[in-house]
Amino acid sequence: MLLEIIAFSLGVIVFSKLLPTLSEEEVMQEETELMFGEAIDQEIRNHLTVEEDATMNLAVQTVGKRLADVCDRKGLVFKYVLLKDERINAFSGPGGYIYITRGLLKFVENQDELAGIIGHEIAHVCLRHAVKRLRDSNASLDSKEKLDELARFIVFQKYTAECEQEADKLGVIYTRKAGFDPNGLANFFERLYASQPRIISRGLFERFLQATIIGPERVKSIREYISQMETSERSETREKVRQKD
């Protein structure tokens, strides 16, 4: 068992190297990031209703905490906000704000799928994707209009395929380290993709469809990455056993 844990840790290190590392000058100072995150969160709450249901919030908080405990920004306090919106959506903002809609929470079939989504959003935060976008847009907080614009940007932002792939991979690592089935995200996307006609007809998928690249190729890419991780783990385990013998 210990050898398997060591092998998995080494496998994570190997595959984490595939992910880009941002230099300090490329990102906002964390204090500034937190300020932007708090201001944008308040503006989002001005436009969207927060879901207060205790059971639903506990489900999100429980999964979120397990993932935050194993992520690369352990010093950051993640805030999970459940929105009273029947559309299927999830997004993240600067400073560790993770937003999940009630519609998405009702659509997921189990904790593994929810962990896949939250892990993906935590990965966006750890990779500072929103921060880089805000930096590139010369964002500021000096007016109500700009705040509203930033809030809309966070809710409707569309990352590049490269950013999504980075978050998929890092999110898979986090879900695995937290003890969830790393196939959760792929399973969720697979079901979501298959349900598009029915969900779109009910107006529940439009925003998520616009903001997220979903399809068979993305699901295949996630599953291939998981397979590579598992192959690496088995290889490392065999090597450790051989060295011990």
In a domain, 245, yes or no: no
In a domain, 233, yes or no: yes
What DSSP assignment string belongs to 206-222? Answer: HHHHHHS--SHHHHHHH
| CA dihedral over 1, 171, 68, 184, signed as positive or negative | negative
Q: How many domains does the chain have?
A: 1
In a domain, 3, yes or no: no
The structure tokens listed for 5 are 């844990």
pTM (2 decimals)? 0.80
Which pLDDT tens digits describe the chain residue by residue (245 residues)? 333 333 333 344 334 444 444 444 445 578 888 888 888 898 889 888 999 999 999 999 999 999 999 999 999 999 999 999 988 889 998 899 999 999 999 999 999 999 999 999 999 999 998 888 777 666 565 656 666 676 776 776 678 889 999 999 999 999 999 999 999 999 999 998 888 766 654 544 444 444 456 778 899 999 999 999 988 877 666 656 566 65
3-state class (DSSP) for residue 199:
helix
In a domain, 10, yes or no: no
In a domain, 12, yes or no: no
Write the CB contacts of 232 (distance below 8 Å, at least 6 apart in sequence).
Answer: 7, 10, 11, 14, 15
Give the C-alpha separation, 143 to 140, whole Å: 8
In a domain, 46, yes or no: yes
In a domain, 73, yes or no: yes
Alpha helix (H) residue ranges in 69-128:
102-107, 111-126
Tell me which DSSP letter residue 109 carries. Answer: -
User: What pLDDT shows up at residue 224?
Assistant: 96
Comparing CA positions, the residue from 160, 71, 182, 82 lying closest to residue 122 is 71
In a domain, 148, yes or no: yes
Give the structural domain span for 53.
20-240
Residue 2 burial (CB < 10 Å; 0-12/13-18/19+)? Answer: exposed
